[in-house]
Structure 1
Amino acid sequence: MKIRSALATSLVLAVLLAGAGCLDRGPEEDVSPRAGGSKGRAEAPTTEVSGVVTKVVDGDTFDVEGLGRVRLADVDSPEMDTPAGKAAKFFAETMLLGETVHLDVDDLGGKDRYGRWICVAYVEDPETGTLINFNGMLAAFGYAEVKDFRDNEFDPGGWGLTPIVR
């Protein structure tokens, strides 16, 4: 996966959207993700299933081969009828489409009312082999808002990311 290239592309897109008034720039701070993501977990994530992303529906929803539709836990991307929604989908497509994701599936409910698996998704940094929390990355780059839904096992407060674009 071309994480650096995809991040550079998404930053350019974010700057263009910010210049067009679609996004407000926030402080440029450290966006180095920590691996943890579930309540009580501070170290490496536990992933239960991996698969290739076959379709990106929007910024926070995609299909995984052999699993079905996934809804990212505790983040909310803008709707597709907005420029910010299109930018979020573009970012997700750039990072995920055709790539293998490693998923930590919610142990409390599993699926939402629409039948989508609620997960924290991780992508692998090809240079280090480190798993990077994609939910947190989506929020850090301004393509989603963090929303701590209490009906799942996850705690976004442990993602360790600071938004750079709001």
Structure 2
Amino acid sequence: MRGSNRWLFFVIMLVSGILIINEILVQRDQPAFLDVEREGIVAYVVDGDTIVLQNGEKVRLVGVNAPEVSSDDGLKAKEFVEHFCPPGTVIGLDVDGLSPKDKYGRTVAVVYVEVSGQWVNLNAELLHSGHASLMFVPPSEFNPYLW
């Protein structure tokens, strides 16, 4: 009987461990879209790091710096963003709580877009694609070095 209890205990612990590890991996793969404060609808893309919403609000993507549209790389960055969020796209905004506006009055935020049913951090995608460079301007609640 004692051997049976040990075997049952081992199986329960193994299954529990697998479930815990799976939950951790699922949470890590999902962007923190639940932390998004609000949504907006894209009116147009200004450049690789600025979007204008239908309500007229200008959004500056935090943690990234794209080349100006006067350069070929700048045009490519703008096209990259337009691919993810053409006019009419609903985006999620996680506004920087420490620096909600930049010196030009733009809302500073992480922008999330839906791709194939998954919410994607557009700021991080710009960095990973090479269309923007990392730009950390403190104070900021976001650390783009972790993207």
Task: Please give the range of the TM-score, normalised by the shorter of the 2 chains.
Answer: 0.7 to 0.9
Q: TM (normalized to structure 1)? A: 0.66
Q: Percent of aligned positions with the same letter in both sequences?
A: 37
Q: Which residue of 2 aligns with 1:113?
A: 103
Distance 1:124 1:156 in 2: 20
| 8 A contact 1:103–1:120 mirrored in 2 | yes
Is the Cα–Cα contact under 8 Å of residues 59 and 92 in structure 1 kept in the other structure? yes
1:132 paired with 2:120, answer yes
Deviation at 1:52, TM superposition (A): 1.1
Give the CA deviation at 1:44: 4.9
Number of aligned positions between the proteins: 119
SS in structure 1 opposite 2:145? helix
Deviations 1:54-78 (CA, angstroms, capped at 9, x unpaired): 0110000011123600000010001
Unaligned runs of 5+ in 1: 1-32, 37-42, 160-166
User: What does residue 142 of structure 1 align with?
Assistant: 130
Alignment of 1:85-104 (within 5 A): 85-98=74-87, 99-104=89-94
Correspondence for 2:143 among 141, 151, 155: 155
Cα separation, partners in 2 of 1:114 and 1:57, compared to 1, 3 Å? same
Q: Larger % of helix: which?
A: 2
For the 8 Å contact 2:65–2:133, the answer to whether it is kept is yes
Report the 3-state secondary structure (helix = DSSP H, G, I; strand = E; otherwise coil) of the residue aligned with 2:35: coil
2:100 is matched by which residue type in structure 1? G
Assess, with a 3 A threshold, how the Cα gap between structure 1 residues 34 and 144 changes in structure 2: closer, same or farther.
farther
* SS of aligned partner of 1:148: coil
Other structure's SS at 1:138 match: helix
- 1:63 paired residue among 27, 46, 52: 52
Select the structure of larger CA radius of gyration.
2
* Structure 2 spans left out of the alignment, 5+ residues: 1-27
Contact kept? 2:33, 2:112, Cα under 8 Å: no
Distance 1:64 1:89, change over 3 A: same
TM-score (norm 2): 0.74
- RMSD, aligned CA: 1.8
Give, in whole Å, the separation in 2 of the partners of 1:116 and 1:107. Answer: 14
For 1:53, give the aligned amino acid.
V
Gap change, CA 1:113 and 1:35, over 3 Å in 2? farther
CA contact (8 A) 1:35 1:133 kept: no
